[in-house]
Amino acid sequence: MKFRGKMTEGGCIKQFINIVNTIARMSKTCVMRITKERIYFIISEGGLSLGNAPGLWAELDQGHFFNEYHMEGVSEENNEIFLELQPDKFSKVLSSLKVSQAARSLKIKLTRRHTPCLTLEADLPTLSIHARSVVHDVPVQLIPRRQWQMYSEPEMPDFGASIYLPPLRQLKHIVERMKSLSSHICVSANRSGKFIVSVTTDDVDVSTHFKHLSMPVWDSQDNGEAVDLEELHSATVDIKKFSLFLQGEQINPTKAICNIVSGHVIQMFLLHDDVTLQYFLPAAANV
């Protein structure tokens, strides 16, 4: 197995760092899947099967980020690489390299020291004529082929409502204030452009309503059946985990989508150029 890539565009390097930082806030471990066309970051923890923890599926088009890119998988038939790593260590190394501060390039390579590692090398600006390179290793674990099916792309749920979210920074500010009131938040939407976030306790009932939001069109949604456009579809989820998703605003998504399966799960997308983050948050039980 071989993998090496080099980024030289400052904007792409910064965007890559923001994605890693976002993932690091969501989980202690993640899986990095490397293919010819894309790099994936996957958080399962039961979430991708709609279990009791959030799941994340992030797709990065390698051609958007890397000026140089080469990989060889485990075989010609299975030309992929699956690695398990700790995203917070990945994030801390990127921060220590200061690659977001005008780095000339960032190289990432799969190496073997005492254990398999992702070796990160940054070429940093210097006042002298000599280049200054800083190198760090991030330990990883190779995932055997027999376990790859555990990290398959999640299926689209049969949602009741799908809506484009209001500006994430605005929504984040509202949710942060609600966090002091309750540990859970109810997320609701209908098919006429209404979106509501609310918290309810014995002492207080607070909600924020958004109206006339746009709605994406999905092929699977058009089944010819008559629907009540005003019917609200709701799911109550962990407010801290919902807030974690909103941290993704730092990647400056062009669109953010929320799909709701009433009482079961919310599925959210962040879309930006050649990056897609898909996040599942199951409904809380007995709330």
Quick: pLDDT tens for 8-62. 998 888 889 889 998 998 889 999 999 999 999 999 865 444 444 458 999 999 9
Q: Is 46 left (phi over 0), alpha (psi -120 to 50) or beta?
A: left
- Containing H/E element for 68? strand 68-72
The predicted model gives 246-273 an average pLDDT of: 89
**The pLDDT of residue 48:** 47
- Domain C-terminal end among 151, 185, 217: 151
**The pLDDT of residue 47:** 46
Q: What is the pTM of this model?
A: 0.88
The domain containing residue 107 runs over which residues? 2-151
Q: How far apart are CA 19 and CA 15, in angstroms?
A: 6
If asked whether residues 181 and 122 sit together in one domain, one would say no
- Domain C-terminal end among 151, 180, 208: 151
Q: How far apart are CA 71 and CA 109, in angstroms?
A: 10
The predicted model gives 125-153 an average pLDDT of: 85
Is a pLDDT exceeding 60 seen at residue 248?
yes
Amino acid at residue number 50: L
Q: Which two tokens stand for residue 161?
A: 């409502």
Q: How far apart are CA 174 and CA 197, in angstroms?
A: 9
Asked, for residue 191, whether it belongs to a domain, the answer is yes
Radius of gyration of the chain (CA): 21
Residue with tokens 């730092």: 250
pLDDT-based confidence at 130, cuts 50/70/90?
Answer: low
If asked whether residues 113 and 166 sit together in one domain, one would say no
pLDDT-based confidence at 228, cuts 50/70/90?
Answer: confident
CB atoms within 10 A of CB 3: 19
If asked whether residues 141 and 247 sit together in one domain, one would say no
- Domain C-terminal end among 117, 151, 185: 151
The predicted model gives 243-254 an average pLDDT of: 83
Number of separate domains in the chain: 2
**The pLDDT of residue 129:** 62
59-91: pLDDT as tens digits: 999 999 999 999 999 998 999 999 999 999 999
If asked whether residues 102 and 210 sit together in one domain, one would say no
**The pLDDT of residue 146:** 93
201-226: pLDDT as tens digits: 998 999 999 999 999 988 755 555 66
Asked, for residue 287, whether it belongs to a domain, the answer is no
CA 111 to chain CA centroid, Å, is: 26
Q: Is 273 left (phi over 0), alpha (psi -120 to 50) or beta?
A: left
Got the DSSP string for 209-275? EE-S------GGG--S----TT--EEEEEEHHHHHHHHGGGGG--SEEEEEEETTTEEEEEEEETTE
**The pLDDT of residue 26:** 86
SS3 53: coil
If asked whether residues 189 and 238 sit together in one domain, one would say yes
Q: How far apart are CA 28 and CA 45, in angstroms?
A: 10
Q: Which two tokens stand for residue 264?
A: 């079961």
pLDDT-based confidence at 287, cuts 50/70/90?
Answer: low
Q: How far apart are CA 5 and CA 81, in angstroms?
A: 14
Averaged confidence pLDDT in the chain? 88
If asked whether residues 89 and 165 sit together in one domain, one would say no
Q: Are 221 and 157 in contact (CB under 8 A)?
A: no
Return the CATH number at 22. Answer: 3.70.10.10
Q: Which two tokens stand for residue 152?
A: 């398959």
The proportion of the chain whose per-residue pLDDT surpasses 90, expressed as a percent, equals 63
249-258: pLDDT as tens digits: 778 889 999 9
**The pLDDT of residue 20:** 93
Is a pLDDT exceeding 80 seen at residue 182?
yes
